[in-house]
């Protein structure tokens, strides 16, 4: 019979449980989430299990990473289903604190990454990555994991956290797994539930366009014209494009040209109605493993 | 024969040493400094020793806490004497990294406290406390202490770090010890070495004026007039006053009045020639112990 999952609601409970592990010093694996779990999260949990003695899942809709005009209040909360999925994946501990448990009314300390977090989503969601780094640092300090897994759907988030981990000497293995997709290519996201039927039908064109744009860039097409063509293709079929851009990895600097054998992140945010979707492709992913990023994170995208 | 001190220069050496302690899980005590050690630092080391199994002293002149016009290059560096003092105090490990060891050229992540760090020195040293919180978080992550001691001479620094520790769930006991003073009342500081003979003679008036101002405030004198009188008294005897101000503890909000039995920090920064001195008095220190600050940190100042 599988071990029952342990549900912890407070930092004190978590710290007490964590301190109790010290004697045996197990490898703790950690998957932080905002809940509304889907197969992408299941894949994170499936992959972390064989790599640790004890697995911790957190579910916390983090208020500090939502802007004032964003969807904090209506972000999907599906705790009972999330719990089922966590149990099915053999999670040992579920940490699900209330907002006031994580942030006292006097909270005033934030972690800010100032380079990787600036372009792409950072331009359009001021304060978002500051909220992400702050809550993930807090969670790392509470859970004290050896390994933490993130999804490549949120590629910029992963690179920001990777940078934070290195800069602040956190000594966690911060790794990413490839984006899990629907059969038609749409990246799984808790926000896909917001899409109308028509928009859901259109949505796979998003990734398809990114993959085509990546293929053209790898083949030597000029950078800015190719990005502009991608943007126009998306707008033409009904997306409102917030950005479609390409940055050097891991610096997130803007390149003038795409060089063969160098790694880049091609990323975009689009709206279908009021629903904001993001997706990305790593260009030349093999080049990332050479600079210390783990290989499974960056499987090449299939181009159509 | 006392154990010889272990000198570590790199983060890898420190982490390797720290990991080797895990089996016995000793209590690690930590005193972070910028070197140029004096009797104030000796007192920190003397006090931490009976409270831990292993004591760590760091010496690191942290570039990120100096402004572009500040004294980073000429900050006193007296490693041989520091080492003697550390040995005399029975320090187990001295961590003394080079700047490039602590900050890679791609460093881009900073910790920012946004409330306690704003008034007093924060107004005049933009980025200073960001540098302090960032380096102390890094050092905490490397050393993983149970207890860290700071001097109350840098009272705002202590309260900023206390706030960071709580907000980021660091679980370190962040405590302060009373300011160590010369017989004439001057707070010990590495920067006192910069003072001319004339300025050194004048310097004790600084603390004397703060203590008198505190006594008046406790006796019910009106706040802003009393602060203004203190400022004028300092200017009249030759100090250039950068600020002389009073904030509520632990919020660092500006009070309208000083209430009996409530804790405040009365703090000032002054120049004697090019040398900047800071000092402070806690008003009603007993009230701080009631809200979770350890008692020895806040021994009442003697008023003349």
What is the tens place of the pLDDT at every residue in B136-186? Answer: 999 999 999 999 999 999 999 999 999 999 999 999 999 999 999 999 999
A143 touches chain B (CB under 8 A): no
What confidence score (pLDDT) does residue B298 get? 57
- Is A169–B115 a contact, with Cβ atoms under 8 angstroms apart? no
- Which of B10, B101, B108 to substitute to test the interface with A, most A CBs within 10 Å? B108
Which residues of A are designated catalytic?
41
B16 in catalytic set? no
What confidence score (pLDDT) does residue A200 get? 97
- Give the pLDDT band of residue B114 (cuts 50, 70, 90): very high
Q: How distant is the Cα of A71 from the closest Cα of chain B, in angstroms? A: 25
- Give the pLDDT band of residue A40 (cuts 50, 70, 90): very high
What phi and psi, each to the nearest 5 degrees, are found at residue A68? Answer: -60, -30
What is the tens place of the pLDDT at every residue in B245-268? Answer: 999 999 999 999 999 999 999 999
What is the tens place of the pLDDT at every residue in B25-37? Answer: 899 999 999 999 9
CB B198 within 8 Å of CB B215: no
What confidence score (pLDDT) does residue B292 get? 72
Copy the structure tokens of residue A105: 């009314």
CB B258 within 8 Å of CB B264: yes
What confidence score (pLDDT) does residue B297 get? 55
A80 touches chain B (CB under 8 A): no
Q: Between A24 and A247, where is the model more confident?
A: A247
SS3 A275: strand
What confidence score (pLDDT) does residue B296 get? 54
Interface of B with A in 236-265 (CB under 8 A): 251
Q: What does the domain layout of chain A look like in residue ranges? A: 6-177, 190-298
Q: How distant is the Cα of A3 from the closest Cα of chain B, in angstroms? A: 28
What confidence score (pLDDT) does residue A304 get? 36
Mean pLDDT over each residue of chain A, to the nearest integer:
94
CB A90 within 8 Å of CB A44: no
CB A128 within 8 Å of CB A65: yes
- Is A113–B112 a contact, with Cβ atoms under 8 angstroms apart? no
B15 touches chain A (CB under 8 A): yes
Which residue in the block uniquely carries the two structure tokens 């501990």? Answer: A93
What is the tens place of the pLDDT at every residue in A259-273? Answer: 999 999 999 999 999
Pick the CATH number of B190-298 from 2.40.110.20, 3.40.50.1000, 3.30.1300.10, 1.10.10.60: 3.30.1300.10
- Give the pLDDT band of residue B289 (cuts 50, 70, 90): confident
pLDDT of A1 > 90? The answer is no
Q: Between A25 and B113, where is the model more confident?
A: B113
- Is A141–B109 a contact, with Cβ atoms under 8 angstroms apart? no
A11 touches chain B (CB under 8 A): yes
- Give the pLDDT band of residue A291 (cuts 50, 70, 90): confident
Question: Topology of domain A6-177, per CATH?
Answer: Rossmann fold (3.40.50)
pLDDT of A299 > 80? The answer is no
* C-alpha–C-alpha distance, residues B173 and B154, integer Å: 17
* C-alpha–C-alpha distance, residues B280 and B246, integer Å: 9
B14 touches chain A (CB under 8 A): no
B22 touches chain A (CB under 8 A): yes
Which residue in the block uniquely carries the two structure tokens 């980025």? Answer: B127
């Amino acid at each position: 019979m599988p071990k029952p999952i342990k549900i912890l609601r407070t930092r004190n409970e978590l710290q007490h449980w964590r301190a109790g592990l010290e004697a045996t010093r197990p490898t703790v694996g950690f998957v932080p989430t905002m809940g509304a779990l889907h197969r992408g999260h299941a894949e994170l949990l499936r992959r972390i299990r064989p790599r640790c003695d004890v697995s911790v899942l957190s579910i916390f809709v983090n208020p500090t990473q939502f802007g004032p005009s964003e969807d904090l209040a209506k972000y999907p909360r599906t705790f009972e289903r999330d719990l089922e999925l966590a149990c099915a994946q053999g999670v040992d501990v579920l940490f699900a604190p209330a907002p006031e448990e994580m942030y006292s009314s006097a909270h005033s300390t934030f972690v800010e990454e100032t380079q990787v977090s600036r372009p792409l989503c950072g331009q359009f969601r001021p304060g978002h990555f500051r909220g992400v780094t702050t809550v993930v640092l807090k969670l790392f300090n509470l859970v004290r994991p050896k390994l933490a897994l993130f999804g490549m759907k949120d590629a910029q988030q992963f690179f920001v956290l990777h940078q934070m981990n290195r800069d602040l000497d956190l000594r966690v293995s911060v790794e990413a797994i490839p984006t899990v997709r629907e059969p038609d290519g749409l990246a799984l996201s808790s926000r896909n539930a917001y899409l109308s039927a028509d928009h859901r039908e259109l949505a796979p064109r998003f990734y398809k366009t990114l993959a085509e744009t990546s293929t053209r860039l790898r083949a030597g097409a000029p950078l800015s014209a190719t990005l502009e063509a991608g943007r126009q293709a998306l707008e033409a079929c009904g997306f409102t494009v917030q950005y479609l851009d390409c940055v050097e990895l891991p610096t997130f600097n803007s390149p003038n040209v795409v060089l063969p054998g160098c790694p880049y992140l091609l990323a975009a945010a689009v709206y279908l109605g009021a629903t904001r979707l993001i997706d990305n492709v790593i260009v030349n992913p093999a080049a990332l493993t050479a600079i210390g990023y783990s290989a499974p994170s960056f499987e090449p995208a299939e181009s159509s």
